[in-house]
Amino acid sequence: MTDIDVIVAEGVVKTYDDSGVPVHAVRGIDYTLSKGEFTAIIGPSGSGKTTFLNVLAGLDTPTEGKVWLSGKLISDMSGKELSDFRRDHIGFIFQAYNLFPVLTVEENVEYVMLLQGILSVERHDRVMNILEKVGIAEYAGRLPMQLSGGQQQRAAVARAMVSRPSLVIADEPTANLDSKTSGALLDMMRQLNEDTGMTFLFSTHDEIVMRRARKIVIIRDGKIDGKASSEEI
Amino acid sequence: MTMIGGFFLSSLSIGWMDGSYGSIIMFFTNNRTGQIQVHHKGYLEDPSIYSTIGGYQTVGAFLDSIPEVRVWAPRIYSGALLAVRPRGAGSGNVFSNSAAASVIGIDPAMEEAATDFSDRIVNGEMLTASAADTSYAAAGQIILGRELSIILDASVGDSLVMLSQAADGSSADRKYVIRGIVSSGNADIDRNTCYITLSDAQILFALQGKVHEIAVMTHSLGRVDELTGEISAGLSGKDLETDSWKTFAKEFYNGMKADEVQLKIMIFVIVLVAAMGVLNTILMMVLERRREFGVMKALGTRPGFIVRMVVLEANIMGAISVIAGAILSTSGLLFLSKHGLVMDPPLNYGGTVFREMIASITPECYWIPAICVFITASTVSFLPALKAAHTKAAKTLRAV
Ligand SMILES: Nc1ncnc2c1ncn2[C@@H]1O[C@H](COP(=O)(O)OP(=O)(O)O)[C@@H](O)[C@H]1O
Ligand SMILES: [Mg+2]
């Protein structure tokens, strides 16, 4: 493990056992994600992508194995520490956007900075700056439902990045978008990755998205089934 | 909604309780008994004509020195036979309409100050000083209870004769002119009570300088118990006893208390039902917003923050319902304080009948339910808040 490793996962196994019938969603994965990567986890539906991302982000606990985030073992962290760690180090983009429906775009983006206790003036500057970058500054005062899907997902990207996390995790960020919008969103994300050096890890089974990734990890039946760089695809 | 309703109902009930019961007690005590009474020891159990307060002026002076005492009124109680000459019976000495009655000697000025006696005179006038106050031979003035005047078939201006016995054993007979007819609101009392002046009674019954009772009117009901103790302590060693209305009007007091307990139980039930409603509402809210809480958790919101947020939201809801409920209940209370609620059948407390109950608008009508609402909102929302705070992000975000 080196200090450029954002994520290190060792022997991660996740077995769901809610219903009495054990479901082996992740069956032993070793994985390292380095700083500045722009990596897609691909695989068919049900292959364990979401489960794996949730475990990596500390949203779910692995049945077996260990995960280090920026060198810290997450199983060592208390609930509160983990909350604070996510707040300060991980940005999330969800498939269903999941913006807070009662807050404006600006307030949605501001939210994490509010948790961090950043002063109002700085919050405002940073919100407007990131909204510029994702191209929806003019919609700052709107409610999420007044925006198109693509615009909402751009707002979600802004929300994920505004607190300057070391890692942005996105689970099928384009699954609800048409191909043209998907392409544009991914281009924008990749541009931000190049400009800021922020690390991106996202899952997809969408070819348009895969093609824009710089590295690809293939998951099948809860196991890594191959790695590739974008040129190889 | 449940919160508004709960606030409204409990506010109304409190206004009701404060207003009606407070005013009934005040009405009852102020009109007749006073809130505190001083007697010779044992008088309440055995109201004998010999059981007197001697030197009552000294006791009165002591009472005057207590700021919380509004006024006091001295009284003499005795019994007599009254006989009236029937109208149209000619000029013979035939006093054939007669009735037994209790005779109350009152100081006209002090009684007026204490009980607004003249307000209840339905015919004629209040007693005044007369020759009978100083001379045994003179004719006196008398006021009859309304039902008694009907029994005697006597009206203002008629003459009657009183036959009784004085404290020294001599006969106490005197001629009276009816000066007024009084209706106290209690027919039982008005059926057998007549009033003469205190000085008259002292001469008639040979009780110079003595009275049977001193009724004390205070400024507020709330401090009656303390004040009773204070007066009792100040009069110790005089062979007197001091009681509050809760003792000397026991029947009345118990009736009131039973009602008040009922009302309190009702308020408690209202609060309980409202609390269940609120719990339900907030649980639904938390359930509906599971995804939102999941996102908050994923973005790194601490569980404590979510708990505080849900409790705060419940309290904001509470504040809104307090405002809405206050508007509703103010209009309700205003209505009830103006029009009252007609009681059918009328309430009867120890013989005094109340046909109408009136609410009063006091600060208690608002702050007690308001505090109830906020306490309920906070306690009841705590469990849903914990539930919200422990939302499993991974799980809720999956359910699209
Ligand atoms: N809470 C759960 N309980 C039981 N099985 C689950 C649960 N969540 C996911 N699974 C199962 O785990 C497997 C992996 O799911 P998931 O990680 O969502 O895959 P992907 O994101 O690649 O579609 C699937 O078979 C899915 O049905
Ligand atoms: Mg998935």
Average the pLDDT over A6-35 and give the result: 93
Q: How far is A91 from chain B (nearest CA, A)?
A: 7
Per-residue pLDDT at B349? 61
Query: Residue A10 — pLDDT band, cuts 50, 70, 90?
Result: very high
C-alpha A164: how far from its chain's center?
A: 13
Q: Residue B110: helix, strand or coil by DSSP?
A: helix
Q: Which of B207-211, B264-268, B297-301 has the highest mean pLDDT?
A: B297-301
Whether the per-residue pLDDT at B30 is higher than 80: the answer is no
Using the predicted structure, report yes or no on whether residue B194 has a pLDDT greater than 90.
Answer: yes
B358 band by pLDDT with thresholds 50, 70 and 90? low
The DSSP letter of residue A74 is G
- The rounded percent of chain B whose pLDDT value lies above 90 is 19
> Do the beta carbons of residue B264 and residue B7 sit within 8 Å?
no
User: Which pLDDT does position B196 carry in this prediction?
Assistant: 93
Q: Are A60 and A182 in contact (CB under 8 A)?
A: no
What pLDDT shows up at residue B60?
86
Among protein residues, the one with the nearest Cα to ligand 1's atom 12 is A25
Residue bearing the CA closest to ligand 1, atom 14: A48
Residue B192 touches chain A, beta carbons under 8 Å: no
Contact A54 B394 (CB under 8 A): yes
> Does the beta carbon of B387 lie under 8 angstroms from any beta carbon of chain A?
no
B204 CA distance to ligand 2 middle (Å): 107
pLDDT of residue A1: 55
Distance from Cα A51 to the centre of ligand 1, integer Å:
6
Kindly tell me if the per-residue pLDDT of B94 is higher than 70: no
- B297 contacts chain A (CB < 8 A): yes
Looking at the predicted structure, is the pLDDT value of residue B22 above 80? no
ipTM above 0.90, yes or no: yes
Q: How far is the CA of B290 from the centre of ligand 1 (A)?
A: 19
What is the spatial distance between Cα B391 and Cα B47, in angstroms, rounded to a whole number? 75
Ligand nearest to the CA of A171: 2
Contact B48, B39 (CB under 8 A): no
Q: How confident is the model at residue B90 (pLDDT cuts 50, 70, 90)?
A: low
Q: Which residues contact B97 (CB under 8 A, 6 or more apart)?
A: B83, B84, B85, B86, B151, B152, B153, B154
Residue written as tokens 């710089």? Answer: A214
Structure tokens at B275: 């609390």
What is residue A40's three-state secondary structure? strand
Q: How confident is the model at residue A153 (pLDDT cuts 50, 70, 90)?
A: very high
How far is it, in rounded angstroms, from Cα A92 to Cα A140?
19
Instruction: Tell me the three state secondary structure of residue B130.
Output: coil
Sheet bearing A72-73, strands edge to edge: A23-34, A5-16, A64-69, A72-73
The answer to whether the CB of A203 falls within 8 A of the CB of A33 is: no
**B:12-71 residues touching chain A, CB 8 A cutoff:** none
The per-residue pLDDT for range B156-189, each reduced to its tens digit, is: 998 899 998 888 888 888 899 999 999 987 888 8
pTM: 0.69
How confident is the model over A109-136, as a mean pLDDT?
94
Both tokens of A121, joined, read 């003036």
Ligand 1 atom having least distance to the Cα of A52: 17
For domain A37-46+79-228, the question of CATH label 3.20.20.120 is answered with no
pLDDT at B338 (0 to 100): 75
Out of A54, A79, A92, the one facing B299 most closely (by C-beta) is: A92
If one compares B356 and A127, the residue with the highest pLDDT of the two is A127
pLDDT by residue (tens digit) across B46-61? 888 888 888 888 888 8
Residue B306's pLDDT is 94
Residue B177 near residue B93, CB atoms below 8 Å: no
Which residue in B has a C-alpha nearest to residue A81's C-alpha?
B302
- Which of B71-75, B128-132, B363-367, B369-373 has the least mean pLDDT? B363-367
Structure tokens at A96: 């269903």
Q: For Cα atoms B342, B347, B349, give the angle at the middle one, nearest 5 degrees.
A: 145
Of B2, B188, B1, B195, residue with least CA distance to B80: B195
pLDDT of residue B331 exceeding 90: no
pLDDT computed for residue A128 by the predictor: 95
Please provide residue B345's backbone torsions phi and psi, each rounded to the nearest 5 degrees. Answer: -75, 160
Q: State the Cα–Cα distance between residues B166 and B50, nearest whole angstrom.
A: 10
Nearest C-alpha to atom 21 of ligand 1 is from which residue? A50
Q: Give pLDDT tens digits for A69-86.
A: 999 999 889 888 999 999
Return the half-sphere exposure (C-beta side, CA atoms, 13 A cut-off) of residue B71: 16
Which residue's CA lies nearest to atom 3 of ligand 1?
A16
In percent, the amount of chain A with pLDDT more than 90 equals: 84
What is the predicted pLDDT for the residue at A123? 95
Residue numbers in A near B300 (CB within 8 A): 83-88, 90, 112, 115
**Residue B354 pLDDT exceeds 70:** no
Looking at residue B87, its pLDDT comes to 66
Strand order in the sheet with A223-229: A90-93, A167-171, A199-204, A38-42, A215-220, A223-229
In which band, very low, low, confident or very high, does the pLDDT at B69 lie, cut at 50, 70 and 90? confident
Confidence band for A92, pLDDT divided at 50, 70 and 90: very high
Closest atom of ligand 1 to CA, residue B395: 1
Please judge whether B298 and A92 are an interchain contact, meaning their C-beta atoms are less than 8 angstroms apart.
yes
pLDDT of residue B279: 85
* Residues within 5 A (CB) of ion ligand 2: A 50
